[in-house]
Homo-oligomer: A and B are copies of this chain.
Amino acid sequence: MVIQAETIDKSSVIPIYYQLFKLIEEQIRRGDLKPGESLPTEHEISLRFEISRMTVRRAIAELVSAGMVYAQQGRGTFVATPKLDNIVFELNDFNQEIKERGLNCKNTLLEAKIIRADKELRERFQVGEESKRFLYFRTVFSAEDERLSYEVKYTIYSKSRPILESELKDPSLPGLIATHTEYVPMSAKKVLQVAVCTEEEAAILGIAPNSPVFLVEQTIYDPDLKPVGWSKAVYRGDRYKLTSYDGWYKKD
């Protein structure tokens, strides 16, 4: 295949590696370079454009990390086949999308209190009898005066710090942990399931009992992988959906 040389401007403010990356990307998207075909060698490209091989490699590295190309030592660099079977659902806290739509939305604190630990809670946090007290939060997220999700959160109560209204500014579980404990949130595990809502949840969200809902359980860990926070959120099934785009769609 032939890559046209005249499309690279070495005096441009746009980095050469980026111009080259876009150039090859475009050829792949247009189908000039088809899956399985090999790119010119790095040496060839560097000669053709009169640029350093390191610059060529930088461009190819971008293509590799975009998943459009793969390199094999000793053989060459080849156009990849788009993999469309990997579904990646990305949700920035589930509510991000709603916030971005510019809707009038808010978090409401239903309840915040210090509770005594029961056996279940101590097991979940892997603590012994010495940890007696936990913080307990119940919040509702709503948009345009419609309640969309309901969440309960637990974290160890280790600082004697008052619970402020300002929690509502950052009601996320990692946020609460950072303010109310001396633990540092380091990693998180989230599990998404479907369920039908309980009567209590239905009443809070204003939907029919046994309606289908998303259920997201979250555990936050500190650097030693000790659980330091846990939450369970219920999202209205008729208001939330996850969308995923895959493959070599154009973003620009």
Whether B89 and A85, one on each chain, are in contact in the complex, defined by CB atoms closer than 8 angstroms, is no
Known: A87-B90, A186-B248. 8 other contacts (CB 8 A): A84-B172, A87-B91, A88-B91, A188-B245, A190-B246, A191-B241, A193-B242, A212-B237
* CB-contact partner of A89 in B65, B82, B192, B237, under 8 A: B192
* A–B complex contacts, Cβ < 8 Å, 6 sampled: A86-B90, A86-B92, A87-B192, A88-B89, A89-B89, A196-B212
Which of A173, A210, A242 has most chain B Cβ within 10 Å?
A242
User: Does A159 count as interface, using CB distance less than 8 angstroms?
Assistant: no
Q: Does A60 contact B (CB under 8 A)?
A: no
Residue of B nearest to A214 (CB): B194
Q: Is A252 an interface residue (CB 8 A)?
A: no
Minimal beta-carbon separation of A186 from chain B (angstroms): 6
Q: Is the CB of B31 within 8 A of A185?
A: no
Contact between A88 and B88, CB atoms less than 8 A apart: yes
Q: How far is the CA of A16 from the CA of B193 in the complex (A)?
A: 43
- Encode contact with B along A26-59: 1 for CB under 8 Å, 0 otherwise: 0001110000000000000000000000100000
**Complex copy number for this chain:** 2
Do B89 and A242 touch across chains, with their CB atoms under 8 A apart? yes
Is A172 a contact partner of B242 (Cβ separation < 8 A)?
Answer: no
Collect the chain B residues with CB atoms within 8 Å of residue A227's CB.
Answer: none
Q: How far is the CB of A96 from chain B (nearest CB, A)?
A: 8
CB distance B174 to A85 under 8 Å?
Answer: yes
Give the contacting residue for A92; candidates B85, B243, B244; CB below 8 A: B85
Q: Say whether A125 faces chain B, with CB atoms less than 8 Å apart.
A: no
